[in-house]
Amino acid sequence: MPAGRPSKQTPAPGGPVVYSMENHPNREDPYIKKLFDRFMDKVHTIPETACWWWVGAALPAGYGLTRVSGEKWLAHRLSYMIHTGYHPAGYVVMHTCDNPCCVNPHHLRLGSQQDNISDMIAKGRAHHGRG
Ligand SMILES: [Zn+2]
């Protein structure tokens, strides 16, 4: 099963390898090339935060939206999939930068639904500060 295809694989929670087009194991695969090209076309990098701003279609909540072979994908989930080769099915792809429209694979991590809830609670508390 070639990495990077939208196929069902067992994701690696924690820290999977993040590939760029230059070091992607399937860089010779025209399908992967096209996927990367189309994806990076819609990305605007923000030097200050290193965030990759999704400039394509987006949901009201700010999450980028795109299609692969007619299938709807949230842009950050697709980014995770094409840059790591792991399909995030059954997992939540979370932002470490708290920027919903960011698609930088280095700012994304895989978690369970429970991780996501814990994360939101922790951040909610942090916002209130002390007192
Ligand atoms: Zn980011």
Determine the distance separating the centroid of ligand 1 and the alpha carbon of 6, expressed in angstroms: 23
What is the arithmetic mean of pLDDT over 99-110?
Answer: 94
Q: Is the pLDDT of residue 49 over 50?
A: yes
Determine the distance separating the centroid of ligand 1 and the alpha carbon of 101, expressed in angstroms: 8
Residue 33 lies in a domain: yes
Domain that holds residue 106: 21-122
Residue 13 lies in a domain: no
Determine the distance separating the centroid of ligand 1 and the alpha carbon of 47, expressed in angstroms: 11
Q: At 37, which CATH number?
A: 3.90.75
Q: Residue 6: which pLDDT band, with cuts at 50, 70 and 90?
A: low
Residue 11 lies in a domain: no
Residue 130 lies in a domain: no
Q: Is the pLDDT of residue 18 over 50?
A: yes
Determine the distance separating the centroid of ligand 1 and the alpha carbon of 99, expressed in angstroms: 6
C-alpha to C-alpha distances, 105 to 26, 38, 80, 124, 127, nearest whole angstrom: 17, 16, 6, 24, 25
Residue 34 lies in a domain: yes
pLDDT in tens, 62-91: 999 999 889 999 999 999 999 988 888 889
Residue 8 lies in a domain: no
How does DSSP assign 54-100, residue by residue?
Answer: E-S-B-TTS-BEEEETTEEEEHHHHHHHHHHS---TTSEEEESS--T
Q: Look at the chain and report how many structural domains it folds into.
A: 1
Residue 26 lies in a domain: yes
Residue 129 lies in a domain: no
Determine the distance separating the centroid of ligand 1 and the alpha carbon of 96, expressed in angstroms: 7
Give pTM, 2 decimals: 0.81
Please, what is the average pLDDT of the chain?
84
> How many separate helices (H) and strands (E) can be counted in the chain?
3, 6
